[in-house]
Chain A
């Protein structure tokens, strides 16, 4: 178990190092990243001063070393546009993003666990196929289209819900639904498949033979055993899907979170903000994945009790 944990952590560290390095060299590929932000008409002196101000002087390896030191110390440089530490800019965006993520995850769990269980129990009847069709629709429709149609109906036609910002609880409704679409589709499928695997097991027959009521059999013996698989999928798949959904949904609803910041900084070419934003999200996803891996291993006695 210890070896397994250490190996997972080492892999995580390597992944993060590669991401951090790739992000650095990628932004240097196009020449000086400051070029677009500075514009023309600066004297040579001012230009040199600005380059020094943003820490872009010296050879690429010197910059890389300084950048790595900054990453370790938590100093990620200044935004080209706002002229303040990117860490501050990103930090104030984390709260709203987490709120949206939490509400989407809550909606996803509330909707897809029951749907997944039902789809497994009634897989041969119309209930099962209706649920799977719904899950399919969630997969195939891009979330920005769900968002656009919701805005068209609930904001412009019926004037029921606000579109821009995160000022009130009503502001959460459309972004949460738009973000949950893919997540619900994914988790419903996984819940159904995990339940199907469990339903065929011998201990389910034993539980029924003992005379337990069907609800106890399905929920306590079925869902609880399936939940290990479901949770691991939740950690591995949902983190990535949520990160991608975040970007789009936040940009559409002008949600003041990290996703909106990433899109804005990509369009405005504010590289320091984009760099740090990408690193932040990547660190979050990689950490969640590693944590899931370890938790899954812990839940599995074959790995937990092994020496290796």
Chain B
């Protein structure tokens, strides 16, 4: 039996992937990878400490404008903190939160979906009823409730982002599992004595990896938007720590005098959601044969 997860990634594979993308997708990939690198190495790249205040250099504009202060390439905020450094750390936190949230959603939703698809009966009814209810309620409402009750902290935020979107994974996994368990090779595995657990992990899981990867990427972009929105509203991580969304939120008060305070993080959010979403769309189109004709 060939274990499809164990096929090593060949150097030629990456080149084939690259050749199948168009210009916009190539740009998105480059931007996305650059953002990940910037986020990962933020402490090394950032020219200043993101929390370092300097009252004499408050609200200085970016490079090329009058009153620009040397070294603060993208200007400073109302406390004289370097906007570039803060944005890099904000990007790091935003991406970290989004990845943590999306992973929790994947684990939670994936497990429940797998259970629903394999166990059937009562378990399936309960799980799918929960999915239906979650779909019916706009998630922003749930997030507002949770954040109001448990307060805004990093941990609560991760939980909120983790719950967001679990129902999509559950739905997809259940559907795929039901489809796959009808197939002859599962029957063959069962006939040759494979336990349900063995079949689930060894045969079912590897076959639903590709829709999961697609959903994960698309969910990541939604989670970035959700996190930014909540932080922007002042319900996210509390100051002085900043994510990109909360930087836009606080910068809002200084928009007439210091528009760079909102522009820099806002542009970063757009670059992030764009590159992630384009990659997700590309993955989906590749995975879905029916869409290729359109």
Which one of B98-106, B107-115, B145-153 contacts A?
Answer: B145-153
Q: Is the CB of B274 within 8 A of A244?
A: no
How far, in Å, is B218 (CB) from chain A's closest CB? 10
Question: Which listed residue, B145, B263, B281, touches A266 by the CB 8 Å rule?
Answer: B145
Which residues of B lie under 8 Å from residue A271 when comparing CB positions?
Answer: 148
For B146, the chain A residues whose CB sits under 8 A away are 26
B232, A144: Cβ atoms closer than 8 Å: yes
Q: Tell whether B269 is near chain A: CB-to-CB under 8 Å.
A: yes
Whether A142 touches B228, Cβ cut-off 8 Å, given contacts A244-B140, A278-B141, is: yes
Is A286 a contact of B148 with CB atoms below 8 Å?
no
Bound together, the chains give a CA A14 to CA B129 distance in angstroms of 10
Q: For chain A, give the interface size range.
A: 35 or more
B residues adjacent to A (C-beta < 8 A): 129, 132-133, 136-141, 144-150, 221, 225, 228-229, 232-235, 245, 248, 252, 255-256, 259, 262-263, 266, 269-270, 273-274, 277-278, 281, 294
B259 touches A15 (CB 8 A): no
Among A38-46, A67-75, A85-93, A145-153, the stretch that binds chain B is A145-153
Q: Main SS of the interface on chain B?
A: helix
**What are 22 residue pairs bridging A and B, where the CB atoms are less than 8 Å apart in the complex?**
A11-B132, A15-B136, A26-B149, A27-B145, A30-B150, A140-B277, A141-B273, A142-B225, A144-B229, A144-B232, A145-B248, A145-B266, A152-B255, A156-B259, A196-B294, A243-B138, A248-B229, A263-B144, A266-B145, A274-B144, A274-B148, A286-B136
Pick from B137, B233, B273: contact of A248, CB under 8 Å: B233
Contacts of B273 in A (CB 8 A): 140-142
Q: Which residue of B lies closest to A12 (CB)?
A: B136
- Which listed residue (A139, A140, A152, A196) contacts B262, Cβ 8 A? A152
Distance between Cα atoms of A145 and B269 in the complex (Å): 9
Give Cα distance in the complex from A281 to B137, angstroms. Answer: 9
A26-B146, A148-B252 given; A266·B259 CB < 8 A: no
CB distance from A48 to the nearest CB of B (A): 24
**Is there contact, CB below 8 Å, between A27 and B149?**
yes
**Is A165 interfacial (CB-CB < 8 Å)?**
no
Report chain B residues within 8 Å CB of A64. Answer: none
Q: Which residue of B lies closest to A262 (CB)?
A: B144
Interface centre among B148, B232, B235 (most CB of A within 10 A): B148
Using Cβ atoms and an 8 Å threshold, which residues of chain A touch B248? 144-145, 148
> For window 140-175 of chain A, which residues contact chain B by CB distance below 8 Å?
140-145, 148-149, 151-152, 156
The reply to whether B274 and A262 form a contact with Cβ atoms under 8 Å apart is no
Of B129, B148, B274, which contacts A140 at CB under 8 A? B274
